[in-house]
């Protein structure tokens, strides 16, 4: 698995990403041809190097010579559809712009469709976003990791006047990301940089062990007194197989004054209403009272109705909700023939170990009742039948 680690000790911006990817081996000619592929008239790109502290870093500049039309999200997505881009790159770039538009809309009390991308900024952002996506694809990157983001302080001029650093859209984009607030008067993380890294990131926490192959260093637009204004991208190979990771909602409530029979009856109701999992854990609460800790895992969009169900059908006065990342094994359902009839199993792909199968209990129980045989006997027969199919 090839991965890239973004070392954002001086923040991140779109042009820094482009410079770092060129430094890591992406041919500059592919970037220089991008305005024509995107249909951006009057836009040119220059590449070179700049010294930032002890680093000689690759610098990318996007020059917009002619007046650009006003562009909204729909305009940008239409340009991506017309461009000569691989389907995967087009979709990924679209995700970045949709995320950026959602953040801007939240800041301005508007909708993503109505957000206006500043003329020059829209052209610049198109190059930054599409170029970064194409560069990562060209280098064969499968997973992306990053350090905590350093945001900076102060203020910057914008089309809306003077705004604080970090910019409002940047702060909205970085919710859930690890950040630091160094005492540096500069905008270290731009909205485009924030949209890129938060859309493309695999995870922030543990970086798997990998064999370092390439290092690219991209220069920021200005020199900083406190530190080198560069973004480094470290690229290498990891032997760890990638895990599927996605966001889930976790709901919790603790109960010390409810009938345990009533609480147990709520669990199947939760599952019927979309919970992915639900469990009851015995616990000791304040004043030494025996209690029940009810935990529910669900899709984020199901959190609100499930919280309402908990408040309605238990004695809870409040439900805690948080968003967690969950690593998941890829799985599939298979059916096998046994002496007791067909039985379903859940087969999961375990990294470095191959596949693992577990008989589905309800399927085992149904076969057991039909055949009049013990559950264990039916489950073992199903596992043996599955093993025969893998030999």
pLDDT at 68: 76
Q: Tokens in use for 325?
A: 């990342």
**Peptide bond before residue 308 is cis, with ω within 30 degrees of 0:** no
Domain regions of the chain by residue span:
2-237, 244-327, 331-390
Between CA 27 and CA 5 the distance in angstroms is: 19
Mean pLDDT of the chain: 90
Q: What is the pLDDT of residues 345-373, one digit of tens each?
A: 999 988 777 889 999 999 999 999 999 99
Between CA 134 and CA 127 the distance in angstroms is: 10
Third-level CATH fold of 244-327? Alpha-Beta Plaits (3.30.70)
Q: Specify the length of the chain in residues.
A: 391
Q: Which of 122-126, 243-247, 295-299, 385-389 has the lowest mean pLDDT?
A: 243-247
pTM for the structure as a whole: 0.66
Q: What is the pLDDT of residues 97-146, one digit of tens each?
A: 999 999 888 887 888 888 877 644 688 899 999 999 999 999 999 999 99
Q: Which residue has the tokens 């680690």?
A: 5
Q: Which of 5-9, 57-61, 221-225 has the lowest mean pLDDT?
A: 221-225
Dihedral over Cα of 375, 378, 381, 387: its sign = negative
Between CA 232 and CA 243 the distance in angstroms is: 25
């Amino acid at each position: 698995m090839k991965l890239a680690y973004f070392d954002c000790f001086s923040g991140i911006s779109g042009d820094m990403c482009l410079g770092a990817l060129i430094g890591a081996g992406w041919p500059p000619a592919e970037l220089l041809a991008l305005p024509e592929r995107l249909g951006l008239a009057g836009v040119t790109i220059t590449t070179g190097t700049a010294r930032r502290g002890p680093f000689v870093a690759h610098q990318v500049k996007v020059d917009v010579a002619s007046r650009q039309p006003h562009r909204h999200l729909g305009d940008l997505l239409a340009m991506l559809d017309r461009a000569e881009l691989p389907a995967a790159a087009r979709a990924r770039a679209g995700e970045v712009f949709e995320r950026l538009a959602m953040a801007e809309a939240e800041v301005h009390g508007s909708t993503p469709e109505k957000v206006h991308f500043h003329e020059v900024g829209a052209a610049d952002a198109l190059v930054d976003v599409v170029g970064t996506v194409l560069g990562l694809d060209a280098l064969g990157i499968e997973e992306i990791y990053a350090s905590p983001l350093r945001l900076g302080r102060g203020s910057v001029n914008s089309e809306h006047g003077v705004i604080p650093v970090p910019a409002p859209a940047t702060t909205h984009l970085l919710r859930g990301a690890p950040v630091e607030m160094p005492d540096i008067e500069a905008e270290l993380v731009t909205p485009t940089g924030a949209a890129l890294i938060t859309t493309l990131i695999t995870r922030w926490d543990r970086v798997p062990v990998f064999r370092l192959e390439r290092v690219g260093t991209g220069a920021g637009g200005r020199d900083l007194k406190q530190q080198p204004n560069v973004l480094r991208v470290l690229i290498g190979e990891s032997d760890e197989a990638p895990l599927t990771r996605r966001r889930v909602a976790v709901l919790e409530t603790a109960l010390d004054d409810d009938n345990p029979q009533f609480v147990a009856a709520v669990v199947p109701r939760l599952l019927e209403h979309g919970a992915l999992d639900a469990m009851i854990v015995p616990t000791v609460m304040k004043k030494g009272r025996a209690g029940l800790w009810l935990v529910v895992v669900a899709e984020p969009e199901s959190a609100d109705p499930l919280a309402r169900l908990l408040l309605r059908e238990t004695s809870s006065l409040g439900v805690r909700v948080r968003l967690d990342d969950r690593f998941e094994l890829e799985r599939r359902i298979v059916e096998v023939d046994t002496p007791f009839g067909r039985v379903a199993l859940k087969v999961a792909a375990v990294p470095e170990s191959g596949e693992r199968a577990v008989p589905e209990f309800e399927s085992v129980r149904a076969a057991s009742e039909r055949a009049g045989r013990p559950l264990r006997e039916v489950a073992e027969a199903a596992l043996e039948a599955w093993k025969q199919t893998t030999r």
